Structure 1
């Protein structure tokens, strides 16, 4: 559905509500309403539906040891209106990163251990077209060789760092933030102050929000199971309790706004570029791929409890059906096994001594990538573009990331059927049978999906228990 179509629908709904308030005795589709609506609303749409060729721009700095594997950073260059923050703030920061890596390589001949890929995406505002088409075209290569994706969209619209990430990348993100000087005015007095200090004052704990949606990271993390990071510097919501910035997607989003009000000295942009630089360097140059599975398992267990998934599933599952109860018990058990396995894995990594055998290092990195991809075996039900079993958006809200999106989708559908059943006082026998049949089908789908998630956890546990070195 296009943006203009959504706007038209919203305007019509608002007018319907206004009519009910002003004329409660009339039916909204009476002739009188139509005449009132026609006199109050006239909209002319001048959209031109055309097909155009779009271009993604890709740059590569080849690695020295594992050149086939790569870390990717991307920013979209299209915008509604001037786009000084969305997405030029991220674009400018990424270009500075490219310049710094290019200059250093030219001066010293240095190359990272793994390749670096820089992407300028087209047509993000029209539905993430550039990044989505690119991931679909190169899907086998990405699933085999892409270690991580870093998305830089609206990197700057406030002074406070507030990124989100796949749980397995949260540790490397926090470690990187600790190494970057703070750009806040207080930091001029305290030269040792870092972005992490700013972060700690804002968040109190090391809590990295799970990867969000709404930008080019979606095709990577949700569509292909690639661990991703989404970088943002946002406003202080304690002072300004609004979700975004007022100039978003308007003609007021100009260079003048950024220069005069948002980042006059461009120190926040500098911090964004530094963050990209260090993340790329850290992920691409580490001997072992820095994915923290112990943190991932902890996040899964925390979110399972916080989202009250166990109680919600028990409401749906037939308590007298042993197979259904077993499916839920197997899921619980597999999550605990995964948690225990990741704990042992972390102990193994803590004792790991780097050696000079490149084959053994390669095998271990192969294993790390296989573990991450255990959770994206195939597309979700009704969601051909989503493969990530662990985290993704839901059908009813494409901007909300949840644990086990497939489970949440089915639970929401069953809930909607129950609401439909209660909404009407009298039902025919055929209508009730139809609702009951659909509910049973959804419950069967739920059990299949529970088993699929369980098998993914079991597969990850088997891989974690392989000590190749």
Structure 2
């Protein structure tokens, strides 16, 4: 899938079509030994990535079946869902419709009572165990994850070979081709967007869910989370206001290039602002305060705060809640400032 996507990008270049922004295609060594290749590269270029990088698209295991699974930080989840409308699944449906059907089956099997909807179709609970880790948890870049999955059985075994793929995993390599298309379209949308397609209102709603899940079934009386919830509301209001300004500007077709670059730089800073330079308690390398991982690779939202609450370490929990509150406040101010720039343009 990666080679075909790269071939297509190269063909566009030969035809004289170049993206607005650089697209870097990476094939990592050492994923199975501590994510070594991606981690070393991300650490080496962290400063430059924080200044310039828009997003990281992660495709760990491209295709082992026909069921699409997409994940993303919440600010990019709406763009991922929207993009699947424009691609056709080999079943004849749009990729979007096929995704909804497979998501409904998966939730039924897992006894997950949530109805499938656009605002919960993409998985916004992102753990570790794959090469996105350094970019999200250390650099502070938004990430998207893509895969086509099937029944588990041959992964990491001697049977995971071309014969199995040709006969069982993806006969005809139709889903590999679709992955190439989706990967390339997402890359070009992010690379060519006049104004970057971030949705911070959706992000705020996601953080609110994280706080609600943290509090569910627990005695939280030693911890006052109202200041956090208040700042989530401020961030959500700011995000919705900016989204309206972005849509209006794009509809007008008149966006000054210098102005757009300044607004895009501000929007890119939002993800960086979720980083705590000191890291989460006990694991300073992991710096993202919204997304983390347990030692099993499983997702762990609000990692510093959640682990403190689980240990009933209320002093640390209050400290982590204050960091979360301050980061939300900082991003609400930033997003409001970006909206004000549109008003004064």
1:404 CA displacement: 0.6
- The match for 2:273 among 359, 365, 374 is 374
Q: Distance in 2 between matches of 1:276 and 1:126?
A: 25
1:313 CA displacement: 6.1
Q: Does 1:460 align with 2:342?
A: no
Mark the runs of 5 or more structure 1 residues left unpaired by the alignment: 1-92, 188-192, 318-323, 415-441
Normalising by the residue count of structure 1, what TM-score does the alignment of the two structures yield?
A: 0.66
Q: Does 1:358 align with 2:257?
A: yes
Greater C-alpha radius of gyration: 1
Aligned partner of 1:399 in structure 2 is 297
1:419-458 → structure 2 map (5 Å cutoff):
442-458=313-329
- The match for 2:23 among 111, 116, 120 is 116
1:275 CA displacement: 0.6
Aligned partner of 1:221 in structure 2 is 136
More strand by share: 1
1:222-243: CA deviation from partner (whole Å, max 9, x where unpaired):
22221101111112xxxx6xxx
1:403 CA displacement: 2.2
Question: Is the contact between residue 164 and residue 212 of structure 1 (CA under 8 Å) also seen in structure 2?
Answer: no
Q: Does 1:304 align with 2:211?
A: yes
Q: Distance in 1 between matches of 2:58 and 2:297?
A: 16
1:308 CA displacement: 4.2
- Which runs of 4 or more aligned residues in structure 1 lie more than 4 Å from their structure 2 counterparts after TM superposition? none
SS where residue 247 of structure 1 aligns?
Answer: coil
Question: Is the contact between residue 212 and residue 230 of structure 1 (CA under 8 Å) also seen in structure 2?
Answer: no
RMSD: 1.6
1:399-421: CA deviation from partner (whole Å, max 9, x where unpaired):
2213211111112233xxxxxxx
What is the aligned residue count?
A: 322
CA pair 458-356 structure 1, distance change in 2 beyond 3 A: closer
Aligned partner of 2:113 in structure 1 is none
CA pair 169-313 structure 1, distance change in 2 beyond 3 A: farther
1:414-454: CA deviation from partner (whole Å, max 9, x where unpaired):
3xxxxxxxxxxxxxxxxxxxxxxxxxxx3222111111110
Q: Which moved more, 1:383-392 or 1:346-355?
A: 346-355
Aligned partner of 1:390 in structure 2 is 290
Aligned partner of 1:208 in structure 2 is 122
Question: Is the contact between residue 160 and residue 234 of structure 1 (CA under 8 Å) also seen in structure 2?
Answer: yes
Mark the runs of 5 or more structure 2 residues left unpaired by the alignment: 104-115
